[in-house]
Amino acid sequence: MAFTPRGPEASFFEVLDRHRASLLAALRRGGEEPAGGGMRLASSSEVLSSIEKIIQDIVTSLARNEAPAFTIDNRSSWENIKFEDSVGLHMVSHCTTRKIKSDSPKSVKNFALILKIFSMIYKLVQSNTYATKRDIYYTDSQLFGNQTVVDNIINDISCMLKVPRRSLHILSTSKGLIAGDLKYLEEDGTKVNCTRATAVAVPSNIQGIQNLITDAKFLLIVEKDATFQRLLDDNFCNKMSPCIMVTGKGVPDVNTRLLIKKLWDTFHIPVFTLVDADPHGIEIMCIYKYGSMAMSFEAHNLTVPAIRWLGLLPSDIKRLNIPKGTLIPLTKRDQMKLDSILKRPYITCQPFWRKEMAAHQASPSLGFSRQEHWSGYLHHILKLFFLNFYITSNCYVHCLAVNCC
Amino acid sequence: MQSVLPGFFANLNWTSEEASHSQDTSGLRPFQMIFEADVKPRTLMTDSLVIKNFLRKVITVLPKIRFNFSVKVNGILSMEIFGAEKEPTLNLSNGIALVVNCQHYLSTPKFDTTELPCSRIHPVLGHPVMLFIPDDVVGMGLLGELTLTPAVALCPCPKVFSNQLNRISSVSIFLYGPSGLPLIFPNSEQPTTPVFKDASYFIDWKKHHLCMVPNWDLSLDRGSVLPDVSYQVESSEGEDQSQDMGPQGQTVLLFLFVDFHREFPGQKMELWGVHTLLSTHLRAILRESHSVVQGCIQAAVDRALEQHHQAVKAHQKLQASLSVAVDSIMSIMTGSTNSTFRKTCLQTLQAADTQEFGTKLHKSFHEVTQHRFVYHCSQAVKQQLLPEKNEAEQNTDEAHENSSLELLAGTGEQTENKRLKRGSQGMEETRAFRSAGALNPSEAASRRAEPTAAPLTFSRSRTGSGSGLEGPSCSHKAALHQCPGGVKSLAPLRATLEGTYRHPGTSLLTLMGFRLEGIFPAALLPLLLTMILFLGPLMQLSMDCPCDLADGLKVVLAPRSWARCLTDMRWLRNQVIAPLTEELVFRACMLPMLAPCTGLGPAVFTCPLFFGVAHFHHIFEQLRFRQSSVGSIFLSAGHLIGPVLCHSFCNYMGFPAVCAALEHPQRRPLLAGYALGVGLFLLLLQPLTDPKLYGSLPLCVLLERAGDSEAPLCS
């Protein structure tokens, strides 16, 4: 490695500053946040009254001798999802719906479970208490069967009432971690300082965070916890420059995504992702940047389209001469995933990604590398990425100009 | 003919016969058989019942045939018509169609068929097996290979029982020969062959936790088809419950169709003969091919019972789900504090109170769902039932039974849609690219224009990572507009001041507050005073700041943070330039002019008015109230540095966020801090602004000249 661990060079800051300037310029050109998009926090009375309305509808249809049914926006079809560069994947306003009928053997259970969760939410909102999704599952674990059933229903309800999960008084325990130059005040007045050596868990109430303070130059999202811990052990944040590191430990949860969105909205510092150079890594990066299909109804609160793919690019494997021993060949499933990602709508506006993935496809035997394997010199490699990014950023600038990236 | 109708005692004499007696399904021609029987009245009843039963049996599989059965006894003609032409049927094979109206199979009038939610049976067709013909059976081998096809159905449809647990109470077996003619064993004394004596000879009932015993006492006198063989469930516990269970449970209907593998080789005319032959030897044939027959019947029965179990399960699921749903609605209803909501709910179901609401809710939920619930009850009049190929296929088929066709159609449509969409997307893309190309020149222009804006954004992006409270564009504008304005206004002022108040003893600069005498107390004491006033907000700030004291000190002492502040436009504007220029204009220049004209008191209070007017553009930002104290500080201290520092401090703090303080988690100490700050400020205002602390006042000279006798200030 040609780099000596002496601290960041001027060129590195230059890259960052130029990138930030271009981001801000793009932001200004695009005007302020897209108007009217996001779901705002609904007041408890609004939630209560909308639940009451739903119950009333059910009772009315029963009185008319019709089988009641819920109409739920279909969240699992690409047809309902519009891709917009400034927002990411978000739901179209008139999307196809599916009915959960009470008179069909397949959906009657789901119908009942939705009603049950409605009643629990109603109680939570009424008493102004909060519960986690796990709490809800454990109130009647036999009835629900498994956690994903509850999660899905809660997402459906959130989509049905058009309010974020927080307004339903349902929390999800965050699995994400933060470290680096960030201080903030939680809702209950607790002071949190992330500059310490150990990482801090992402708070469960992102909206309640106040007084964020940072000197950070950039925000680095790390896909994996192992990589994150390695960087932390290497004292990456101090060696590199002031920065914030966040990991969602794989596919990020809503809180981690909300936090990144909040950090971006507050500071407008460049956000980079460090993911594995495999289809899953690319997908996770896409979730941070453009959001996922399942949560597309809340995309305005969750996506940060300004996120950049820093590494590990599939082409880096060749460029950095990564030893073959640390590479893991792509499996059949990886290939399928890659193909499915290539079909996603956002790929069309990312010719650079396309190229990278084509490189990926061309040499399936090379596969990807696990970052943990390069232990000690990870931050050097990262620096290399930044410079690499600088080299390729001409492409980014071009993309910004045509308002593409 | 005798052999076909066992238990028929009368001697028959054919009297007339029109048309051939081919009884195949195409036999739509009228066909009449007249039997004259010389009879004893005792046997007549039985005989006609036997005939009736025979006819019933025929029409259940050959619904197109219509029988007019008339009996003339002592000149009195009683007539009965048998036919199932308009009944819903299920096509099996070889033109045989099974009537699926369960009325034909139900013996008990318990079920009022008009009220049944589903009045059909839903047969499962097993796949045909070849029968072995024993060597000693004469003549049969010549006729061709025999097959046996079982069909199993539950009667009545499980839907009927949706209020109770479904049970199997009996089994009825119906035997049919070629062309759908009933196959009746010739031995009239013993209607069931030994083969069927043992209930578990063909079907392992124990597998289904059922214990079958043959049922011998079958009365002919019932409105339904009489089975050839019948079993009843004996409860495995051997309790007398079996008696009560009898008629209420479901009956398993097992139809066994014996037919020739290929088209019947012989003449139609020989049918009766063949039929008789078959009836005679069936026992032997069935015994010979026991294992094959058992396998195929067992499979069909298993599948039918599997359906049954699924129905039971589905029903239980429905029950459980409905109660969950009703409970949830009730919980929301009763827990609601919204009285109008509760009232509307009650009114909708016309319930008087919540309890009645609950019962009505449960009832109507049941009624509504039951109508359409229960597994797969097809309503088509005609259906083609195909035997299953094998076990593996059977599972998947069952899973998709309802919707496989629709699904197929649906997915086909979807993929087509997708393809279409993709196509149109591609079109749009190319269009977008083209338009991007067209836009290029203007873009280039905008890029050329960029450099002018670049330095500003650049410097800010380096340093402006402080609080992002104000919109970036707005702060720029304000900074640019304010600085030159402040500087410009100095020139004419200097002229006026020099012209009006030129006095030999005091220089203009001293008058304006630039002097060294008493500079330290002048810098510190007013700042202290202001900080006391801001005691509450300061406490709030320290509570809300996520960093602790050590961190704070580190930040304050670090040269980097100062350097960053100094390069930050906003910081410079708020903390340095604005206080300096504003104080220069409003305090240093304005007060010395105002004081002689209006007197000290009014001057202190009018000066902030000017200041306020000048800050009118901030009205949306925050209200300001602190200016008069700053004015009095200048007057009493005679130093500009004091007001400048106070102003800077106030600018940093902003207007106290009283609302936030009221909602703060540590509300009490905070509000106490607010009160204490204001109290201390009022107390200390006088002693700390004592002019003696700050050296001699240049303003007094002016005041003296103006003849003002404001003694306390200048004494």
SS (H, E, C) B267-307: CHHHHHHHHHHHHHHHHHHHHHCHHHHHHHHHHHHHHHHHH
- The closest CB to that of B372, out of A25, A103, A266, belongs to A103
Q: Do B458 and A60 touch (CB under 8 A)?
A: no
For residue B572, how many C-alpha atoms fall within 13 Å in the half-sphere facing its CB? 15
What residues form DSSP beta bridges with A272?
Answer: A220, A308
| Between B684 and B7, residue with greater pLDDT | B684
Cα separations in angstroms, B230 against B100, B125, B170, B201, B213: 19, 20, 7, 13, 9
Answer for the pair A158, A41: CB distance below 8 angstroms, yes or no: no
Residues A227 and A175: beta-carbon distance below 8 Å: no
Angle of the B627-637 helix axis to the B600-614 helix axis, nearest 10: 130
pLDDT at B247: 47
Ranges under pLDDT 70 in chain A: 1-13, 30-41, 316-326, 360-405
Cα–Cα dist B46/A186, whole Å: 93
What are the backbone dihedrals phi and psi of residue B21, each rounded to the nearest 5 degrees, phi first? Answer: -100, 45
Res. B117 pLDDT band, cuts 50 70 90? low
Q: What's the CA gap between B387 and B432, in Å, rounded?
A: 57
Is B100 in the A-facing interface, judged by CB distances under 8 Å?
Answer: no
Q: Of A322-326, B340-344, B585-589, which one has max mean pLDDT?
A: B340-344
Q: Confidence band (pLDDT; 50, 70, 90) for B205? A: confident
Q: What is residue B389's three-state secondary structure?
A: coil
Asked whether the beta carbons of A232 and A245 are under 8 A apart, the reply is: yes
CB contact under 8 A, B341 and A56: yes
Using CB atoms, pick whichever of B333, B454, B544 lies closest to residue A185: B544
Q: Which residues pair with B256 in a beta bridge?
A: B150, B175
pLDDT average, residue stretch B488-500: 44
Residue B228 CA to residue B175 CA, distance in Å, equals 7
**Mean pLDDT of all residues in chain B?**
64
Reported ipTM: 0.71
Chain B: closest CA distance from residue A379 (Å): 23
Helical axes B490-501 vs B590-598, angle rounded to 10°: 40
Strands A218-222 and A210-213: unpaired
Q: What is the DSSP-derived secondary structure letter of residue B132?
A: P
Q: At which residue do the structure tokens 């002492």 appear?
A: B557
d(CA A346, CA B460): 32
Question: Mean pLDDT across the stretch B369-381?
Answer: 50
pLDDT of residue B489: 42
Cα–Cα distance for residue pair B413/B409, rounded to 1 Å: 6
For A197, counting Cβ atoms within 10 Å of its Cβ (0-12 exposed, 13-18 middle, 19+ buried), the class is exposed
How far does CA B506 lie from the centroid of its chain? 84
Which tens digits make up the pLDDT trace of B15-68? 333 333 334 333 344 555 666 555 566 667 777 777 777 777 777 777 777 777
The most confident of B99-108, B300-309, B545-554, B595-604, by mean pLDDT: B300-309
What string of DSSP letters covers A368-405?
EE-GGGGGGGHHHHHHHHHHHHHHHHHHHHHHHHTT--
pLDDT exceeds cutoff 60 at B186 = no
Question: Which of A24, A119, A267 would best serve as a mutation to test chain B binding (most B beta carbons within 10 A)?
Answer: A119
**Angle, helices B559-567/B549-557, rounded to nearest 10 degrees:** 60
- Report d(CA B508, CA B496) in Å as an integer: 11
Strand A69-73 versus strand A88-91 pairing type: unpaired
Residue type, B59: I
User: Collapsing DSSP states into helix, strand and coil, what is residue B27?
Assistant: coil
For residues B648 and B626, give the distance between their C-alpha atoms in angstroms, rounded to a whole number: 12
Checking DSSP bridges between strand B168-176 and strand B250-260, what pairing results, if any?
A: parallel
For the beta carbon of residue B430, count every other beta carbon within 10 angstroms.
Answer: 10
pTM of the model: 0.60
A11 to chain B, any CB pair closer than 8 A? The answer is no
Residue type for position A89: L
The tokens of A198 are what? 């150990």
- What is the DSSP secondary-structure string of A82-96? EEETTTEEEE-SS--
Does the annotation mark B281 as catalytic? no
* CA–CA distance, B603 with B615 (Å, rounded to integer): 18
Residue B399 pLDDT class (50, 70, 90 cuts) = very low
B367 contacts A102? CB cut-off 8 A: no
- The answer, for B456 touching chain A at a CB cutoff of 8 Å, is no
User: Do A319 and A388 touch, CB atoms closer than 8 A?
Assistant: yes
Q: Under an 8 A CB cutoff, do A112 and B324 touch?
A: yes
pLDDT, position B462: 37
Q: What pLDDT sits at residue A177?
A: 92
